[in-house]
Every structure is written in C-alpha cells, then in structure tokens.
Structure 1
Amino acid sequence: MTRKYMAEPFKIKVVEPIAMTTREQREEAIKRAGYNTFLLRSKECYIDLLTDSGTTAMSDNQWAGMMLGDEAYAGSVNFYQLEGAVQDLYGFKHVVPTHQGRGAENLLSQIAIKPGDYVPGNMYFTTTRAHQELNGANFVDIIIDEAHDSASEHPFKGNVDLNKVKALIEKVGAEKIAYICLAVTVNLAGGQPVSMQNMKELRALTQPLGIKIMFDATRCVENAFFIKEREAAYADKSIREIVKEMFSYGDGATMSGKKDCLVNIGGFLAMNDDMLYQKATQLVVLYEGMPSYGGLAGRDMEAMARGMYESVDYYYIKHRVEQVRYLGERLEEAGVPIVKPIGGHAVFLDARRFLPHIDQDQFPAQALAANLYVEGGVRSMERGIISAGRDKQGNNYHPKLELVRLTIPRRVYTYAHMDVVADSVIELYKQRDSIKGLEMIYEPPVLRFFTARFQPLV
C-alpha cells in the first residue's frame, strides 16, 4: 500500500558507502562471530541497527564547532559551552563531563551508594545495574506491571508504580535508599516514556523523605515528545519547555551524550547538590580527567553542547519518532509481534511470540537476531535473558520480555532503508518455524551480551 510519511528535515551533504553482501558471506560472518551480532564487523552489515548510541550523523553546525576545540587542560572554553547548555536546557547547577554515559554511572554509583543500599528504578538497564551492584546496591524494579507486557497499549509504560516505592520504603526505610534511578525513556521496556504526572507524583512522595531522584536522561528528548503527544496539558508546550520541567522534578542526571545529545562520544553527570558535586570532581580526576573535561576533548564538548540545542527542535524529534513508528507499523500490519506502543528509538520484536517453539533458556532473541542478519544483512541486538545476566547466586534472570531491538540511528537512514528492514523481518517471520535455538559456548563474567559466543542447537 502507498503510505505517507514525514520527509527528512535535513539534506544529505556527505555519504558513506555500505556493504552489499551475499547470503553465503553473511552465513560465514555470523558463524565467525559466534552468532553474536556485537562481534560482527561493521563492514559486514548492510543496515546497522545494533544501537543508536554514538551512531548519530552530526550536523554541519556540530562539525563546524569541532574546529573550535579549545584543548586547554583546564578551564576549556568548550566546557563552559557545555555547562551553559546543561544549565539552560536541563536546569541542573553542576556538570561533570565523562567519556560516555557509563562513566557518569560509575561516578554516581561510587559517590552515592553505600554497601547494602537499595536503588529502585523503572526497570533495569545493563550497565547501570552493573555499576550499582558492583558498589554494593540492591536493584529493585519499581516500574508499572504493564511495562512487562509487550502487548499492553498503556501510553506511559515507563511510569513508576508508586505503591511499589511506598512498599520498599516501609520495608527498608528511606535512609537505605541511595536514590531512585528514573529512566526517561525506558530502553528495555521498548523505549517507553514516563508521564509528567508520574514524575510530579514521585517527587511529591520522595522529597519530604529526603530521597533523591537521579534521571537516566539518555533519551529525555524522546520522552518529552511523547509527553507532548499524549498529555493534553502539554500539547502546546515546546519540547524545550517540557524537557526543562521534567528535570525540575529530579536532583541530577546521568547522560549518555551519544543518544539525545547527537554526538558520537561523550556524556556527563549533572546535579544540584554542592557536596555531591565536590565528591564527583574528586573522583573524576581518578577515572576520567580534570573536572572541566572529564574524558573528552574540547571539540567533543563543543559538538555535544550544539547537539543538545539541535535535539530540542520539534521537527527533528518529530521526524525521528515517526521514522521509528513507520517501521513498527509496517511490521504490525504484517502480523509480526512487536512491543506496543512503538517506542522512540527502536522497534522491539517480541521473540517469545515470534519463536514460541524455542525455550527461553535456548536464547530465542539471540537466535532471532542472528537469523535476521543472515536474512537481510540487518544487524540488531538481543534484549532478553542474555542481557539480563545472572543474579548474585549465579542463576540466570528470566525476564518476562525476550526482545530483539531494531535501533534506529539518528539522521542516518531513510525510509527506503526502513522498508528493507521491514521486508527482511516479514520474510523471516514467514520462515520462523525453521529457526533453531542456541547454546552458549563462552560466557564472560560481566555484561555477557557484549562478547558471549554461541552455536546452533542440532
């Protein structure tokens, strides 16, 4: 059918050739990679949807800013540009640059967590939970139950269940809660947003008890777009106004600039608390660099500052979300099981329903991702039992969501590429009964999904 879609709000000035491979070449490549799409080489991928982290196409304005890098060891002009952007757009007082988001997670976990503390969050994220647990915290999932149901159409599946928060406070006491980690949007739930109303209510519950709210702000602009779409009170608000209000209900944030700041590397830890900031500046010197550059060159901070302003442009974010939605709607119309509502950065295939004949302990999402690469040269990512990892006793977590993430890089692919992806997934869905499970033949001790290796079950 003929469908309408929003044209790109940009024009293409530089192009990069991409790989055109045969099925035989892809079969050999995935075997060599141990059936782990992370271990494929980028030149072997036709359409690379592994992640939207650092895969952004930067603008001419950002590239121009790169030429203005002040590489002074301390007090770089570009740091003050970045600091000003964070204060202006997000409203936080202090900024500590880091090499990327997990650098900020590391700093926050070390300065805010004591062994035995609890860190409630609206669903875990892999590196975030790893840093929290390595510093002695107990992660507690406080997301609403609908988030674990891929078919639920709840408009804000990233919301916190306030009753779960109250129950945890009653059980362990407010003093044992290091902070609440509030992700906007929630990646592993399918890129699902948190409503402004939920943020207000969470703040009203926790502030009198002295419990801090620290945002995982990685995809905050996408969250703001959904608020504008789905909360009537914000229909006439600008993305910039919504972002600023969102962060007014928190005490700080970790940011992977490689997503909504539209850069290829970088991140920061932001906060309002002076004492916490001093601790962060002491620790960043050990792990990253001077407090005024962290792990970044001046040019990288300049590109991030400029990207932050570009990200709150309504037409940019509208195109981004609608391109993701276009792919999801094509798959949904063909009967392919996906997480609904369609998220802001990716379409998530429901591997449980796609491959019901494969037991979760045979890694259906990993098998699906490997077979999708062979089918169409499309690289995607497992987000299920392998990503969930093991508990402290060494047992596999068995998450309710067993997903494959088709993650759309920002300003990189066209709608024609989305059609190629859709066609590949739909064709694979027709052949789904022929797909076999996998067994793990190598497992690293931490964050196994990055480097684990597999082989097909006979």
Structure 2
Amino acid sequence: MRTIIEPFRIKMTEALPITTRENREERLKAAHYNVFLLDAEDITIDLLTDSGTGAMSDRQWAALMMGDESYAGSRSWRRFEKTIRNITGFKHIFPTHQGRAAERILAATRLKRGDIVPNNSHFDTTRANIEYVGATALDLPSPKAGDIHAETRFKGDIDLTALERVIARERKTIPFCMITATNNTGGGQPVSLGNIRAAKALLAKQGIPLVLDACRFAENAYFIKLWEEGYADHSLIDIAREMFSLCDGATMSAKKDGLANIGGFFACNDDRWAEDFRNLLILTEGFPTYGGLAGRDLEAIAVGLEEALEEEYQRYRHATVEYLASRLITRGVPIVRPAGGHAVFIDAAGFCPHLSAKDFPGVGLTTALYLEGGVRGVELGSVMFGRCAEDGTETPAPRELVRLAFPRRVYTQSHFDYVIEAIENVFRERAAIPPFRIVRQAPFLRHFTAHFAPG
C-alpha cells in the first residue's frame, strides 16, 4: 500500500490544552519569552523535544508490572543488561538515570583540562559536560553539512580529513573521539557506516577510542538501510550491531530510541574505563545494577530498545517527519534538507532574513509559533550554541535553526496539519517577528533558563 499508517492503535487519550492567543501572550511574557519556562498546560502541540516525551506501548506498560525493585542484582537489571548486550555487544553495561549522567561520568573519569574531544557535532549536554571539566568539545561536521538546503545523503558524517589533521596535531590531548548518530546539531542527519568505519580506522592507528552517542541509533540504522549501498536487505538490529562493533564505547539516552520516559546507559569494553565509571556511578547515581532507575524503568527500556528496531515502526516514524518536511518545502519554508530522523529543522535565518544572528531569530520564531497556535519548538542557534564572552560579546553559532522534534507515537496526521497551518501563517507575516536580546543567562546550558526581551 502507498499509504503509510501508524503501526499501532490508540487505547488511551489525553486532552490537549486549547488556549487563546490572549492567554498565550500573557503566559509567554510571564515566561520571559523562553518556551522552556512555559507550563505544559499552556502548550497545545509540544515539539520541544523527543526526549522522554513518547508514548509507551502495551508491552512496555506490561513490563512495568514485572519490575523487580531489589537494590542489587534484580531480575529487571538482568533483562536490561541482556537486551543491551544483544544489540551492542559491549562487555560492560551501566544504567544511568538519563544520557547526560552517562556523559557527565565519562567526562569526569576520562577527561582533564586541556583535552580535546572531536565529534561530528556535540549536542548541548555533551558539550556542556566536556567543557565543565575544562576540556574542548571540537565539532568536525562533514563539508556536506555546509549547505543545509541540499538534498545530500549522510550529512551527519564526521569530516575525516579534518579528523586526521586534528589527530596528527593533537594526538596526546585526545582521550577519545565521539560520533553522534544521528547528528542532532546538524539537523538530525544520519551517519553512514562507511564513515564510522573510516573514522575508526584513523583513530585505531593512534590508539584513540571511539565513543558513539547512540541516543538515536535505531533511526540512524534505518537511514543506513535506506541509503547505504549493500544494506537494503539487512535487518535493523544487524545494522545496529555493526555500528556498535566499530566503537569502543557508547553513551545512550533511553528517552529517545529506548522509547522510555526516563533512563540511559554507558557501555564499553575497556576494563579500566569500566572500573572508573562504576566507582563514580556508585557515588552519584546508585548501585551499578540500577544506576538511578527503578526496576520498572529498566524493564520498559529493555522492551523499548527492541521496539525501536522494528522496521514498520521506523518506516512510519520517518514517513511522519517526511510528511511535515515535504509540505513545508512546497510552501517555501526553508528547512534543513533532507528531513532528519526525529525532527524537522527550520532555517530560522532564512525564515527571518530581516534578523541577524545577534537578534536571535530562532527565539523570535519559537515565540511566534507559540503565539500563533500554541506550538512549542526549540531554538538551536546562537542561544544554544553561541558563545558569550566575559565582556558580553556574543559569538554566533554556525547556523540559526528551530527544531520541531517529534515525540514518539504521540501525534497523528491532523496534529501535523495543524502545525503546518501555524507555520504557514507565521511565514506569511514573518517580517513582523521582532529581534530579541538576552537579559539573564546561566554560564552553562543557558537556553534552558535564560530570560529574553523583544527589541
């Protein structure tokens, strides 16, 4: 059939808040024009993030009832460990309460001031945890990523030429390299197996480990199946296994391709890495067989990781993203192309040509979408990835984007038709979107709590 349907039935509903523009204006002003500071009851369609916002399946809800809450060595831990080892093949597996906890402990145990961690592109919490210990998070995106509007495949790849130069120049200060799959910062773009394999070969010559940021590994595997030569007949789990086999470790937010509302893990093969990680995990997260999670969460994640690798699920999810992307393109709305695996990324600079980077066009666009229809997206531009010096001077980000992330198994086609209408209305009146300035910010991850003002 040409029509791709949701491969599930809806067994429970949740009422959506339907608000007025007057109400939204009041709420946005009270939230200092930062959509992170809005209450959920103020949002009609919430596309802020796909992290922990999905709907669990009946199998996951049933698994919750099987949760073994023993402090150490629970049955739920064993199921969690077995599932992850079956997919990744890693020797050591540690649960954490979410992905950034795994990043924090990895950074604390493996990095020191002056170290450099290359990546195709670090996302916000990864970068913050690396920089918090005084190391440098170095982005090496593929040259293909430079043209965000080109329909080029595997724009999430790491730049192998740049990586080779960095290794030659900085070998002694690179404790490990990372690859994020899919590349969230670059528009949810996938990484090819060929690129991971080539990066691993460069790193292995100098004994540098490769760590995969695997929070959307299943979506990346589906892109490989669709696009990479020789993989059309491979199952998603086999592709995933090959991805992990090329790496020495992985951090994972199970709130993405674990299809769970909380949780994550770190996995590796190195005994020394594992010992250091375990010791700090016990100090800050919990015993190594629960890592800050309840047994029922471990159960839900184990089921969710398997469901994320079901081809029909991925086919539907990618088709949903493509549905929104294609309809925005026909309306002339500039977006990152091709469509990513988990979100549509609007080119805020192209959407608001009257605003410069110092005007934070992504903030203007997110506020305009909220005011128009109660739709919440998130800025991925000079607020999230820019730099503010001690004298207040702002260094802009490479691009100004607004991400509309798709919670898994939550919204239907009519919801996205509503989003399209809201975007179309804002696009028609885009010249009215004002500039914004920051009036309050935190030293790290400022986008979460910053206060803005128009003008």
What aligned pairs does 1:21-420 form with structure 2 within 5 A after superposition?
Answer: 21-173=19-171, 175-390=172-387, 395-420=393-418
Q: Give the gaps of 5 or more residues in structure 1.
A: none
Q: CA deviation at 1:204?
A: 1.3
1:248-287 Cα deviation digits (max 9, x unpaired) = 1100100000000000000000111111111111000111
Note if contact 1:157-1:192 (Cα within 8 Å) is conserved in structure 2: yes
Aligned mates of 2:219, 2:14 — CA distance in 1: 27
Q: CA deviation at 1:395?
A: 4.6
SS in 1 for 2:7: coil
SS in 1 for 2:394: coil
Q: CA deviation at 1:136?
A: 2.1
Note if contact 1:158-1:185 (Cα within 8 Å) is conserved in structure 2: yes
What do you get for the CA RMSD once the two structures are aligned? 1.3
Aligned mates of 1:319, 1:282 — CA distance in 2: 41
Amino acid at match of 2:81: E
Note if contact 2:127-2:137 (Cα within 8 Å) is conserved in structure 1: yes
Q: CA deviation at 1:232?
A: 2.1
Q: 1:453 aligns with which of 429, 447, 451?
A: 451
Q: CA deviation at 1:391?
A: 6.2
Cα separation, partners in 2 of 1:297 and 1:162, compared to 1, 3 Å: same
Q: TM-score, normalised by structure 1?
A: 0.97
Note if contact 2:386-2:397 (Cα within 8 Å) is conserved in structure 1: no
More off after superposition, 200-209 vs 403-412: 200-209
Name the % identity: 47
Aligned mates of 2:437, 2:3 — CA distance in 1: 41
Q: Give the gaps of 5 or more residues in structure 2.
A: none
Q: 2:5 aligns with which of 4, 7, 16?
A: 7
Q: CA deviation at 1:223?
A: 0.5
SS in 2 for 1:233: coil
More off after superposition, 389-398 vs 254-263: 389-398
Q: CA deviation at 1:15?
A: 0.6
More off after superposition, 163-172 vs 323-332: 163-172
Aligned mates of 1:392, 1:183 — CA distance in 2: 27
Aligned mates of 2:123, 2:427 — CA distance in 1: 28
Q: TM-score, normalised by structure 2?
A: 0.98
More off after superposition, 234-243 vs 387-396: 387-396
Q: CA deviation at 1:145?
A: 2.2
Aligned mates of 2:127, 2:442 — CA distance in 1: 17
More off after superposition, 428-437 vs 385-394: 385-394
Note if contact 1:27-1:374 (Cα within 8 Å) is conserved in structure 2: yes
Note if contact 1:389-1:448 (Cα within 8 Å) is conserved in structure 2: no
Amino acid at match of 1:350: D
Aligned mates of 2:277, 2:343 — CA distance in 1: 32
Aligned mates of 2:218, 2:369 — CA distance in 1: 30
Amino acid at match of 1:430: R
Matched residue count: 454
Aligned mates of 1:347, 1:302 — CA distance in 2: 31
Q: CA deviation at 1:5?
A: 4.1
Aligned mates of 1:171, 1:118 — CA distance in 2: 11
Q: CA deviation at 1:208?
A: 2.3
Q: 2:439 aligns with which of 438, 441, 453?
A: 441
Q: CA deviation at 1:351?
A: 0.5
Note if contact 2:259-2:301 (Cα within 8 Å) is conserved in structure 1: yes
1:135-167 Cα deviation digits (max 9, x unpaired) = 121122111122233212220011111111111
